[in-house]
Amino acid sequence: MSACYLGTDVGGTFTDLVFYGGDGEVRCFKVPSTPARPGASILEGIDEIRSALGLDEAAWRELIHTHSSTVATNALIERKGAKVGMLVSSGFRDLFELQRLAIPHPMRFDSRRPAPLVQRGLVREIGGRIAADGSELDPLDEVGAVEAARELVGLGAEIAVVVLLHSYRNPAHERRLRDLVERAGVSLRLELSSEVWAQAREYERGVLTAVNASIRPIVEGYVERLEAGLAERAIAPPPRVARSNGGAELAATMRQRPVVALLSGPAAGVAGAAAAADDAG
């Protein structure tokens, strides 16, 4: 039997599903999205497809499916992600306040820089310094690191990003900080900038890590709900989610760095349009 394919796109209002069956026909379905439970609308759409088309069990179990979504995009735009704190090198507390100094439209009096993802009150400085060549200038302030993490928990931070100077060159201090916090039993999840985007320039590295931390709980919930629902429906092939670069990645591995799916929906649309244009010559 020819393989069956399913493509889904989760938007803020509707979830669209396109089913390509073994008979070569393309069928389109649309169901209301479930913003409070991202991913649940996909499962509802799948149930509707199965009921409407009466697929046999063999075809159903081998359904190949790829998903795209604006869930992460909407969460970032609407600032509905996790409450994020930040741990930075001593002297860099205003990393997000200073940004790159320049405003978006210098010739307009009403031009404003975007509000930081992390409030200044949720930023703590940590002693210790890694040099630009990766050598250690000052040892990490281990006691201060644990105390700072505890303060962020007390302020309601759900997750904290760690953006230490030159960690792209040597991530030892960031990794040691995470180990210290875990061993101290502090209930604060840490996102290391050296693992999310190991590139120079603290502001850009910090912003991407903060975005990753902000959308992580939403994307993880989306993926877990999707995987569990597909398993209940005996669909064997693992789900893939569109990446911001137009490619696709296993949903299971996307949990490690959910920021790669930030532009999943728009990128999938462009990639699909390009593929359709290529097929049409």
Q: Of 197, 214, 231, which marks where a domain is finished?
A: 214
Order of strands, edge to edge, in the sheet holding 5-10? 26-32, 14-20, 5-10, 64-69, 240-242, 248-250
Query: Is 69 found in the same domain as 101?
Result: no
**Residue-level pLDDT at 176:** 98
Query: Is 46 found in the same domain as 11?
Result: yes
- Give me the chain's average pLDDT, please: 92
Query: Is 91 found in the same domain as 159?
Result: yes
Q: Of 214, 242, 267, which marks where a domain is finished?
A: 214
Least confident of 145-154, 156-165, 206-215, 230-239: 230-239
pLDDT over 90 percentage in the chain: 74
CATH code: domain of residue 58: 3.30.420.40
Query: Is 37 found in the same domain as 70?
Result: yes
Query: Is 183 found in the same domain as 135?
Result: yes
Cβ burial of 254 (10 Å; 0-12, 13-18, 19+) is: buried
**Residue-level pLDDT at 23:** 82
Q: Provide the domain limits for residue 207.
A: 84-214
Query: Is 110 found in the same domain as 182?
Result: yes
Query: Is 125 found in the same domain as 94?
Result: yes
Question: What pLDDT, in 10s, does the model give residues 92-142?
Answer: 999 999 888 778 888 888 888 888 999 999 999 999 999 999 999 999 999
Query: Is 166 found in the same domain as 55?
Result: no
Confidence bin at 24 (pLDDT 50/70/90): confident
**Residue-level pLDDT at 225:** 92
Query: Is 228 found in the same domain as 260?
Result: yes
Query: Is 55 found in the same domain as 114?
Result: no
Query: Is 23 found in the same domain as 144?
Result: no
C-alpha closest to that of 244 among 72, 38, 82: 72
Strand pairing class (84-89; 123-126): parallel
pLDDT at 59 over 80: no
Q: Of 174, 189, 214, which marks where a domain is finished?
A: 214
pLDDT at 47 over 70: yes
d(C-alpha 279, C-alpha 281), whole Å: 5
Question: What pLDDT, in 10s, does the model give residues 198-238?
Answer: 999 999 999 999 999 999 999 999 999 999 999 998 999 99
Cβ burial of 52 (10 Å; 0-12, 13-18, 19+) is: exposed
**Residue-level pLDDT at 56:** 75
Domain count, the chain: 2
Query: Is 153 found in the same domain as 68?
Result: no
